[in-house]
């Protein structure tokens, strides 16, 4: 029963939302800022809307797909649309209670995300969708601590982009056969497996090199994340069993809970 509940949470992107909120809390604590609960709810709601909208569109376009996520969103399309509208209304109300600087930053990200969703196929000719998602995801999380603390750590931003991109690339690598079957474009379908593995390991090495230049709580978290992803490349057969790669891969974004006392 617990396993099924967790799987449903994955299908609905609830685990992604939880990870976003935990990461936001972690970085806010490290940058010495304390946004109200509205900021957490707003970010979580926006992330859920973006992922749900993307899944609904994919489910509609990939009629023959047998993936559980697509089937769920296709079969529950009307209910999910109603929930999405209610979430959107709630987010519009929450916007009234956040600082103006965060609103403006969030508005810029929202416009960028909307343009990406509308022009995804055209933009994918220039860069993989994984890069766009990694950039928006990282900017959305770090925007609040950066703006409120007026401290802009581009090394931290780069590390989070790298960590997120590696996460997405690993998932694409593990799900390459499904993507090919469903005619789903991803970085794994554009490159062969060995090429992508080398790129992922190179990016992990770059991330580790940047992180070890200054050891602190933030960089220790990134080091732990990159090491886990390296293991997912080395022991791919084990991580592939029962979709362990997804639980552990997304679990990296829940790791900051362990750093609460550091």
User: How far is Cα 181 from Cα 201, in angstroms, rounded to an integer?
Assistant: 26
Residue 157, classified by CB atoms within 10 Å of its CB into exposed (0-12), middle (13-18) or buried (19+), is: middle
Query: What's the CA dihedral at 124, 130, 135, 138 to 10 degrees?
Result: 160
Q: 98: which 2 tokens?
A: 């956040």
- Tens of pLDDT, residue by residue over 14-70, are 888 999 999 999 999 999 998 888 889 988 988 898 888 888 877 676 555 667 777
User: How far is Cα 35 from Cα 73, in angstroms, rounded to an integer?
Assistant: 33
Report, as an integer, the average pLDDT of 178-182: 75
- Tens of pLDDT, residue by residue over 87-115, are 999 988 988 888 888 888 777 777 777 77
The pLDDT value recorded for residue 152 is: 87
152 Cβ contact list (under 8 Å, min separation 6): 146
DSSP class of 214:
S
230 Cβ contact list (under 8 Å, min separation 6): 201, 204
In this structure, of 71-85, 102-116, 140-154, the range with the lowest mean pLDDT score is 102-116
DSSP 105-159: HHHHHHHHHHHHHHSHHHHTTTS-HHHHHHHHHHHHHHHHHHHHHT---HHHHHH
User: How far is Cα 12 from Cα 52, in angstroms, rounded to an integer?
Assistant: 7
Q: 196: which 2 tokens?
A: 């992508």
135 Cβ contact list (under 8 Å, min separation 6): 161
The pLDDT value recorded for residue 142 is: 93
Residue 213, classified by CB atoms within 10 Å of its CB into exposed (0-12), middle (13-18) or buried (19+), is: exposed
3-state SS, residue 62: coil
Q: 112: which 2 tokens?
A: 């960028």
Report, as an integer, the average pLDDT of 124-130: 64
Q: 14: which 2 tokens?
A: 């609830």
Answer positive or negative: Cα dihedral of 96, 99, 104, 106: negative
> Taking Cα atoms as reference points, which of 135, 157, 158, 137 lies closest to residue 146?
157
């Amino acid at each position: 029963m617990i396993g099924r509940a967790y799987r449903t949470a994955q299908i609905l992107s609830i685990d992604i939302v939880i990870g976003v909120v935990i990461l936001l809390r972690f970085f806010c604590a490290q940058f010495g800022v304390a946004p109200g609960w509205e900021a957490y709810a707003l970010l979580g709601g926006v992330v859920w809307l973006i992922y749900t909208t993307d899944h609904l569109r994919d489910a509609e376009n990939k009629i023959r797909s047998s993936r559980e996520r697509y089937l769920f969103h296709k079969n529950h399309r009307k209910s999910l649309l109603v929930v999405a509208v209610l979430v959107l209304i709630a987010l519009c109300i929450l916007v009234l209670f956040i600082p103006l600087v965060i609103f403006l930053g969030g508005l810029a990200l929202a416009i960028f995300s909307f343009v990406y969703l509308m022009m995804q196929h055209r933009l994918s000719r220039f860069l993989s969708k994984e890069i766009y998602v990694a950039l928006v995801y990282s900017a959305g999380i770090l925007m609040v601590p950066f703006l409120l603390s007026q401290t802009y750590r581009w090394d931290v931003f780069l590390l989070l982009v790298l960590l997120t991109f590696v996460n997405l690339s690993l998932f694409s690598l593990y799900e390459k056969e499904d993507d090919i079957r469903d005619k789903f474009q991803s970085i794994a379908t554009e490159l062969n497996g060995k090429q992508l593995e080398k790129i992922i390991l190179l990016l992990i090495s770059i991330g580790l090199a940047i992180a070890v230049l200054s050891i602190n709580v933030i960089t220790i978290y990134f080091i732990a994340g990159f090491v886990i992803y390296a293991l997912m490349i080395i022991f791919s057969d084990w991580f592939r069993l029962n979709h362990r790669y997804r639980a552990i891969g997304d679990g990296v974004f829940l790791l900051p809970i362990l750093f609460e006392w550091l």
